[in-house]
Amino acid sequence: MNSTSISAKDKRTINFVFLLSAVIITLATLQNKLPSGLIGALGIMAVVGYILNLIGNKTPIINQFFGGGAIVVIFGSSYLFHSGIVPTETVATVTTFMKGGGFLAFFIASLVTGSVLGMDSDVLKKAAFKYIPVILGSVAFAFLFAGLVGELLGEGFFDSIMLIALPIMGGGMGAGAVPLVEIMAGRTEMSADVLMSKMVPALAIGNAIAIVTAGLLHKLGQYVPSLTGNGRLMISGDVKEVVEEEPQSHSVQQLGLGALLAITMYFVGTLLGTVIEMHPYALMIIFVALVKVSGVLPRELEQAAHGWCKFVLDNLTPALLVGIGVVYTDLGQIVASLTLSNLLMVFSTVLGAVVGSALIGRMMGFYPIEAAITGGLCMANMGGTGDVAVLASCKRMELMPFAQISSRLGGAMMLILATLILSLFS
C-alpha cells in the first residue's frame, strides 16, 4: 500500500501508535532508563526527529525560506541534547550509535546505491564527465569572493583563502580540516592548535550557512521554475527518468535485497580503499556507477536498491538529522565564532561556491539550482553529515551521489591544491 492510498482510519491508527511510542520513549529517557545501543538510540532519535520535523514544517517563514523541518531538527536537537534537558547517558548513547555504530555510513550507502542504480544510464554518463568543471568553478569563485572580502576587512587575500575558504571547501573535518592542518603546520609559522582554532569555527559556520542557503535555493526554485530540475541535475528533455517507471510499492523481499546490495557496495568501497588511496565513499560511488552503466545488474535488483533507498529516506531521515545535530553541530562554537569578519568571510565563501557552480553548471547543461546545491553547497558543508543536512533542507535527497562526489573527490582535490599552493608560496 502506498502513502497516497492510506485511509483516514489508518492515519488515525498510525498517529495513535506514534503518540503511544513517543510517550513511553520520552518517559524512559527523562528517567534515564533508556536502553543502550541501537534500540535506545534509534528510538529517541526517531521520536525527537519526527516531532521537530513536524514543528519545522508547520512553522511559517522557517518552512518557506529556511529548509523547514531539517533546520529545526538539526539545531533543535543540538540544543535539547546539550542543554541538560536530556540525560548525559542518552547523549552518549546517540553519539556512540552515530560514530561507532555506523548509522551515517549505512544511510549514505543506502542513498548512494539506490539513487545511482535508479538513474538513467545515459544521464549518469553525461553528467559524470561534466561535473568536475562545476566543482572547479565552485572552488574558484569561493576563493575569489573570500579573498576579496578578506582583503577589504584587513585579513589579507592569501590568508583568507588558506584559513577560511580552503578548509570550508575541503570536505569536512576528518577528510578536510584535519589533514589540511597537518599539511600546513609543517609549512607555515602557525602551530596545529592555532590552525585548528581558526578552521573549525569556519567549518561550523559554513556548514550552518550552507544548510540555510539550501532551503533558500529550494524556495527560489519555486519562484523561478526554469532554474531547477526539482532534483534532476541535467537539463535533458529527451531522457526519461528510470525512477518514473518503477512501481510505488516493494515487497519485503525486495527491500531486503536492496538493503543487502547497499551494504555490499559499501564493503566494496572499503576493500578498494585498502589498495587505492581514496575515501571508501568515493570508491563506492565509482564502483556503483560502473555497475550501473555496464548493465550487469538485472533490472529487478536495480529497482530493489532504489526501493530500499526510498524506504530509508522516508523513515530514517529525521532520526539521522537528530544524530547530526547532537554529534556534529556545536551551537556554542558557532555562536562564539560569530564575529563580523568571520561571518562575512565565511558567507562570501559559501556565496562564491553557489555562484561559481551555478554559472559553470548552466554552461555544462545542468540546472543552476541543482548545480549550486551539489557542486557548491556540498563542497562548502561538513562532508557526509553536511550533505545529508543540505539535501534534506532543499528536499533533494536523490542528489546524494553527486553530493558525495563533491565531498569526497572534491575534498581530495582541495588537499592536493593546498600542497601545491604552499609549495609555490612558502
| pLDDT, tens only, 287-327 | 988 898 888 999 899 999 989 988 988 888 889 889 888 88
pLDDT of residue 243: 40
Specify whether the CB–CB gap between 269 and 283 falls below 8 A. yes
How many C-alpha atoms does 85 have within 13 Å on its Cβ side? 12
pLDDT of residue 221: 95
pLDDT of residue 64: 65
Residue type, 228: T
Query: Strand, helix or coil at 186?
Result: coil
CA 215 to chain centre: 13
| pLDDT, tens only, 178-205 | 567 666 776 667 766 667 667 777 887 8
* Cα–Cα distance list, 121 to 98, 296, 299 (Å): 33, 12, 12
| pLDDT, tens only, 204-254 | 788 889 999 999 999 999 999 999 999 988 887 433 443 444 445 678 888
Predicted model pTM: 0.70
Contacts of 308 (CB under 8 A, 6+ apart): 110, 113, 114, 250, 254, 255, 257, 258, 259, 261, 262
Specify whether the CB–CB gap between 365 and 234 falls below 8 A. yes
Residues of the chain below pLDDT 50? 1-4, 237-247
pLDDT of residue 368: 96
Specify whether the CB–CB gap between 96 and 41 falls below 8 A. yes
pLDDT of residue 247: 45
Residue 234's beta-bridge partner residues?
A: 366
pLDDT of residue 332: 78
Residue 366's beta-bridge partner residues?
A: 234
pLDDT of residue 148: 96
Q: How far apart are the C-alpha atoms of 276 and 286, rounded to whole Å? A: 12
